[in-house]
Amino acid sequence: MFLFWINLSIILILVVCFYVTRKTNIKWEKVNDYFGIVTNTVNSVRYGNLSTKIEPLKHFKDQSYDNLTDSINRMVETLKDREKMIAEYQSELMRQNTLLETVINSLTDGILIVNDKNMILKATPKIDEWFGQKDGELSGKNILDFIEIPEGKKLFKANKLPVFIKHNPNKNYCISSIELNIDDKKRYVLLITDITNEKQLESLKEDFVATLTHDLKVPIVAESNVLNFFLKEKFGTINDKQRFALEGMKKSNSELVDLVQIILDTYKIKETGIKLVKENIEVNEFLTAITEEMASFAALSGLTIEFKKGPNFCVFADKLQLTRVIKNLISNAVIHGGNGKTIEVSTGESEGFINIYIVDFGQGIPKEEIPLIFNKYYSSNKKYRKIGTGLGLYLSQQIVNAHGGEINVTSTENVRTEFCVKLPVS
């Protein structure tokens, strides 16, 4: 009887174990099926299929698996939304890029991107046309194979620098450069502009002005001669009022002659450059003669010229051209000297240069105008209704530069203005 119960117990245990094992196997089979579905879903997402999702397992209620299923499905939905958003961004970027490219390609200027080895990375169709290349052929080629820049100039520091394009030798171009600060590689944007029409217009304008002023000079000089005859009483005696009027006319006539001559000289400089006939000049003697000559002109404005003699320097220069520079600077000092009473002329020395200083104590030059005063045709006289072409300082700078020197200016409004002419030591 005892053995019967033992055997029965063993049988019951085996039945229970079989039942538990079977239930466990079924559960693990469902778990394996679930993980298989999760794996397939993840792989689908990995390869871009965001339409898939995990269906809840039927007859398998487990909160932790349900939470995991919901999380994965929400993640897929989020990725799907992000993908849609990214697609919209990409579409907008493509649209903006197309618009920008269309605008750039429609420009009359040509644009290139080059590296620091002068190799072309990208170019607009206008550049292809000017360089005589087909679309895409310029990439990787050296830009210096297509253009020439003035000797001594640097391409990547160009600012409206004249440039010669070999494929279009009959046209005029200028080039400007902008450095791109992208990653560690140096790249530059080069803007090339066709200035042929502007050059032709400028040439026509200057030819017209030169011809006009040349034709004007003859009657003005003739008028000057007649005025001199009147003042010398060649045509009879004149009274004091007539002499005063004639001297005023002669002064105005002299200013007109100077203006016409300046315009003609500017034209000649552009065409042939400045030809210097140099000689040794003793500076003190040279400046004494000029200041004495200009004293009467300054006196008409109630000013005196004071020349402070220094050491007797000597310079090797063109006396006629240098005289024009100093006279022009003194004339400007007289015109703008205001009530300063005195114009100071002095000399000095710096490393390798002899300096000539002209100082007035008048209205001064506004700070923003100082970089402009040597520009062609720039004149502050227009503000004060005085005669002036704006060419005087431009010509003076060209003359001094031709000597290997320079003109500097410092000014404080309503206090003082100082021009310094620096000439190389002989």
Residues contacting residue 169 through CB under 8 Å, at least 6 positions apart: none
Model confidence at 381: pLDDT above 50: no
d(CA 27, CA 19): 12
Angle of helix 392-402 relative to helix 240-272, nearest 10 degrees?
Answer: 50
Domain boundaries, the chain: 2-84, 107-194, 197-273, 275-426
The answer to whether domain 275-426 has CATH 3.30.565.10 is yes
Q: What is residue 315's DSSP assignment?
A: E
User: Phi/psi zone of residue 233: left (φ > 0), alpha (ψ -120 to 50 degrees), beta?
Assistant: left
pTM of the prediction?
0.48
Q: What is residue 146's DSSP assignment?
A: T
- What pLDDT sits at residue 423? 92
The pLDDT > 70 percentage for the chain reads 71
| Tokens 């750039």 belong to residue | 104
Model confidence at 273: pLDDT above 50: yes
- 106-115, 231-240, 315-324, 376-385: least confident range: 376-385
Which token pair is 32? 């394996």
Each residue's pLDDT tens digit, 364-379: 888 888 888 877 655 5
Higher pLDDT, 187 or 44: 187
Each residue's pLDDT tens digit, 148-190: 988 888 888 888 899 999 988 889 999 999 988 777 788 999 9
- What pLDDT sits at residue 387? 41
- What pLDDT sits at residue 324? 85
- What pLDDT sits at residue 80? 75
User: Between the CA of residue 343 and those of 61, 306, 406, what are the distances in Å?
Assistant: 106, 6, 21
The answer to whether domain 107-194 has CATH 3.30.450.20 is yes
